[in-house]
Amino acid sequence: MSAVKPGYARPLDLRTGRVGLAFGAGGRAMAQLIAELFARAFANDYLGRGDDGAVLPAPGPGERLVMSTDAHVVSPLFFPGGDIGSLSVHGTVNDLAVMGARPLYLAASFILEEGFPLADLARIVESMAAAARTAGVLVVTGDTKVVEQGKGDGVFITTTGVGALPAGRDPGGARARPGDVVLVSGRLGEHGMAIMAQRESLAFESEIVSDSAALNGLVEALYAAVPADAIRVLRDPTRGGLASTLNEIAAQSGVGMELDEAAIPVSPPVRAACELLGLDPLCVANEGQLVALCAPEHADALLAAMRAHPLGAEASRIGTATSDPQHFVQIRTGVGGWRMVDWLSGEQLPRIC
């Protein structure tokens, strides 16, 4: 069988070719890019129709739709544990999952810079497709634009997701109550420090690898373990880290938080890197961890469910929501004192997601 498609002079050169302005111009070159790269990687019946949108089945009886969108501008594009392609799937899948939804479909928008190597673009798209398959979501529609050389940074990706929220689930930042238990699913700060180490060419005794992962499987395991209304809040502590996430929940719910520093899982390499760079690991971003606030009588069962899942093996009970009109988040330190855990101030680590 000939490798040359009918109507094309030659197939895309995915080994040495580069993105040209024509790839975003709406003509034959763009159609070729879509057919030979995006449609091939994301292959499914909805995308295969080639229409301007996707006609999707309605959710099941009693279910509601959840929609979320996220733009990804991470630098560098490739980092230990992932790349902008897998990250763009995980980011939106996780935003849906922590709403209690089962992620179903993604739309993907690519902004490409003229001259970007097609080999790198293909690597990113294949990584994105693999992440979508693992998460059980379909990329059903998309868009491609190309900007002139020097007016972009290689690749930017925006993903918009739709999920189905089963009846009875209603996690939300305003639902925490005094006495609720605060759980985290694993080590904090791995993603942010992996990006920083790669960006600044920092070497540590143990390589720091991003925790980027899809959390929808873990969330389903949690809902299988306890009554749905026992889970008050779910969040993925991305930009701003655990510190900003808990302050946000405290403000939304009108509660305070008391945390135990010794119970918060931070790996020795991340702790050492943060000390070297003068960063607080509680403010460093994560892309594969979640925070759960739950009714105290169900905390042990929820923690056990987390630890039974591969993404929650190092889950920990780190604190309690309190009755506090000031909505302070405080932490008991290793020497027995207390300190405030404030929102991230300024931009600690730019371009991390």
Nearest alpha-carbon partner for 97 in 221, 210, 192, 211? 221
Mean of per-residue pLDDT scores for the chain: 94
List pLDDT tens digits, range 160-212: 999 999 999 999 999 999 999 999 999 999 999 999 989 888 877 788 999 99
Segments making up each domain of the chain, as ranges = 18-165, 180-340
pLDDT for the residue numbered 9: 62
List pLDDT tens digits, range 101-153: 999 999 999 999 999 999 999 999 999 999 999 999 999 999 999 999 999 99
Q: Give this prediction's pTM.
A: 0.95
CATH fourth-level superfamily of 18-165: PurM-like, N-terminal domain (3.30.1330.10)
Strand ranges, E, within the chain: 64-72, 78-79, 82-83, 102-113, 138-147, 155-165, 181-184, 231-235, 256-260, 291-294, 316-322, 329-332, 338-340
- Rounded CA-CA distance 167/174 in Å is 19
Protein fold of 180-340: Phosphoribosyl-aminoimidazole Synthetase; Chain A, domain 2 (3.90.650)
List pLDDT tens digits, range 41-52: 999 999 999 999
Within the chain, where are the H helices? 28-33, 39-41, 45-48, 84-97, 118-135, 190-199, 216-225, 241-253, 268-277, 299-308
| Per-residue confidence band for 159, with pLDDT thresholds at 50, 70 and 90 | very high
